Amino acid sequence: MAALGTPGGTIEILKKYNFSFQKKYGQNFLIDANILEKIVNASDITDRDCVLEIGPGIGTMTQYLAKNAKEVIAVEIDQALIPILEDTLAEYNNVTVINEDILKLDIGRIVEEKNGGRAVKVVANLPYYITTPIIMGLLEGDVPIESITVMVQKEVAERMQTGPGTKDYGALSLAVQYYTKPEIVAQVAPTCFMPKPKVGSTVIRLDRYKEPPVDTKDEKFMFSIIRASFNQRRKTLVNGLANDAGLGLAKEKIAGALETMGLPPAVRGETLSLKEFAQLSNLLL
């Protein structure tokens, strides 16, 4: 069998199994060995690591991960890929393929079973249609994670990194920057995939902080303030938060907190830094 991370090797295995791409699953398989090596190198995997791969596809990156890690857990939703993965991963005895939807899976239980509850490294060429729920789930869930090295749509990588005052700044930026230190690893052209996606791609590594970079008395409450602020982007922060029935905050209390922080009464949420959101939620608690 030709190497999978090439156009020829990928076509060969797809033909052998008469596989048809499913657009609804965001299937764009990597066919560039350089990029595969860059992702695996950036993830810093050693033979002590347990890796969680989301969407192994035909197993192209899984093979690289299996060679470097102690253990690989690969979660793939498409049943048609399971016999292919059995074939392409046959020579590795450290890979467990799970045919499930990653958004429905109890990842914590699997990590407990496979890695005794120790932190895993997540490495993936993500299905773009569910990037945000996957990343938010990994960050906010209680699964122990050391780092996340993933291919995402270029614009999403920008949202993860950006600061206040830009149009891309939002709840995803703040969650990523509260839990992790993001770092861009590589920009990837559509020609590195089969079929070619319509968008540019970026590999980003998110290193989980041991301690969050800001002090917050109640993380959950801070994120409900953040979400409410960005749900009503056009409104002033006072109106946006006061209109959110779930928060149940009086306008006067919000205005008072902004005054204490030395912020103008008509300030918009999109101009607040992570530190300011932490301060504000501590004052409103």
Nearer of residues 67 and 217 to ligand SAM, judged by Cβ: 67
Interaction between residue 88 and ligand SAM (CB under 6 A): no
Interface residue with ligand SAM among 25, 178, 230, 277 (CB under 6 A) is: 25
Q: Specify the 3-state DSSP secondary structure of 202.
A: strand
Interface residue with ligand SAM among 32, 35, 55, 268 (CB under 6 A) is: 55
Of 20-28, 108-116, 236-244, 265-273: span binding ligand SAM (CB under 6 A): 20-28
Nearer of residues 9 and 127 to ligand SAM, judged by Cβ: 127
Peptide bond into 195 cis (omega under 30): yes
User: Pattern of binders to ligand SAM over 223-262, x per CB under 6 A?
Assistant: ----------------------------------------
Interaction between residue 73 and ligand SAM (CB under 6 A): no
116-155 residues in contact with ligand SAM (CB under 6 A) are: 125, 127, 130
Of 41-49, 53-61, 182-190, 263-271: span binding ligand SAM (CB under 6 A): 53-61
* Nearest CA among 102, 106, 101, 99 for reference residue 142: 106
Interaction between residue 29 and ligand SAM (CB under 6 A): yes
Contact 134, 103 (CB under 8 A): yes
Name residue 74's beta-bridge partners. Answer: 53, 97
Interaction between residue 32 and ligand SAM (CB under 6 A): no
CA angle 227/275/240 to nearest 5° reads 30
Interface residue with ligand SAM among 73, 76, 107, 254 (CB under 6 A) is: 76
Interaction between residue 61 and ligand SAM (CB under 6 A): yes
What whole-number distance in Å separates Cα of residue 65 and Cα of residue 132? 23
What whole-number distance in Å separates Cα of residue 148 and Cα of residue 224? 24
Q: Specify the 3-state DSSP secondary structure of 276.
A: helix
Strands, sheet with 95-98, edge to edge from the N-terminal-most edge strand: 95-98, 71-75, 50-54, 120-125, 145-153, 201-208, 180-188
Compute the least distance from the CB of residue 20 to ligand SAM, in Å. 12
Residue where the block lists tokens 């509260």: 178
Q: Which tokens go with 6?
A: 């090439």
Interaction between residue 107 and ligand SAM (CB under 6 A): no
Interaction between residue 201 and ligand SAM (CB under 6 A): no
What whole-number distance in Å separates Cα of residue 229 and Cα of residue 252? 16
Binding positions for ligand SAM, rule: CB under 6 A = 25-30, 54-57, 60-61, 75-78, 81, 101-103, 125, 127, 130
